[in-house]
Amino acid sequence: MDCTSNPISRTNIPFHASGALEFVLELAIGTPPKPYPFLLDTGSGLIWTQCKPCSKCMKQPSPIFDPSKSSTFSHLSCSDNLCQALSQSNCTRNQCQYFYSYADQTYSIGDFARETFTLGTNSDVKVSMAIGCGHTNAGNLNNSSGIAGFSRDETSMVSQLGIPGFSYCMNDDINKRTLLKFGTQEEIFRDIKAKVQATKFVDPPPGIEAYAGLYFVSMTGITVGTKRLSIPKSVFDKGMIVDSGSTFTELPNVAYNKLKKALQSSTKWSPSNITILDLECFSTGSIRPSQVKLPKLIFHFPGMNLDIPRDNYIVDMDEKGVMCLAIMNADSFGIIGNGLQTNMQVLYDLKNSKLVIAPNQC
């Protein structure tokens, strides 16, 4: 698809916080089009919503989608390339069925179909895409009515649209709307005056090829204040994935403990038995947590030194007298979660396979 001349490449889609530490796109599906909020998830590769008849469904803000009321809904055959691209599928009467699951145990099972999407604020921009129509679903949709996978998997929304890149700016104010934009680096950052930096996407390390569609970057180190932490390069060998669908950033064990120790020594905070959302919290004594001054924090990547604002990695709980580190200990590869990306213009440059970031007050 030549996106330079296609109206899809100039589409802006309303984008905002869901109120549940996640971010949603406002899309419309079916004919006639019905509005549905979809979680934007760069860590997965399927678009799906819950459908009637629903044997098991989660709570969602929109009515359950009824495919019988849409004139453009059609089942995909088992021989369709997109059905073949699913990691888990089944075939019943030559109709493709899917099973998709997530790290938080959310899952969806149903029919893999084709449906018309209306994109953004321009109701003339319509596109037909494969969508999961879930009849058995469980987990948590976090105030959305479906999940829009934006990985590089063949079944994802971005792969089906064939766009050169997409960009968002996350703001955690649920009353403030921003836009998801499709386009190139030149288009996205044209009016941004702040420093623009980029780092290349890399392949996942051996042994986790199943995650090949995700957006891995190489992390090379961490600076706290003026001191580069002594972290062996091998600690970051498994890479970091950029994941809009994960709230908190996760660092490999050695890096996490080095960061925590450096912050503790510079602020004199002490461990607290209070935990918030599984985050480690620290007592600040007689000082209100929000008034504690923290040293500069920089994450290093090839070609990028990312200055992390205080609010992106600290949760202040003044009423409890603690501050919590909004970074967690990773079990495997690291994750750059959406909290760390707040008030940054983030571009996934698919054409040139790189991540581009600049500070931006969304």
**Is 243 marked active-site?**
yes
Q: How far out from the chain centre does Cα 51 lie?
A: 24
Return d(Cα 106, Cα 113) in angstroms, integer: 20
Q: Which of 203, 243, 311, 318 is catalytic?
A: 243
Q: Which residue in 121, 93, 212 sits closest to 159, CA to CA?
A: 212
**Is 318 marked active-site?**
no
What is the per-residue DSSP string for 52-119?
A: SS-SB----SSPPB-GGG-TT-EEPBTTSHHHHH-SSEEEETTEEEEEEE-TTS-EEEEEEEEEEEE-
Going 161 to 162 to 164 to 170, the CA torsion angle's sign is positive
CA dist list (Å): 184 to 80, 165, 178, 244, 351: 30, 6, 18, 19, 8
Neighbours of 94 (CB within 10 A): 10
Q: Which of 41, 111, 153, 349 is catalytic?
A: 41
What amino acid positions are annotated as catalytic residues?
41, 243
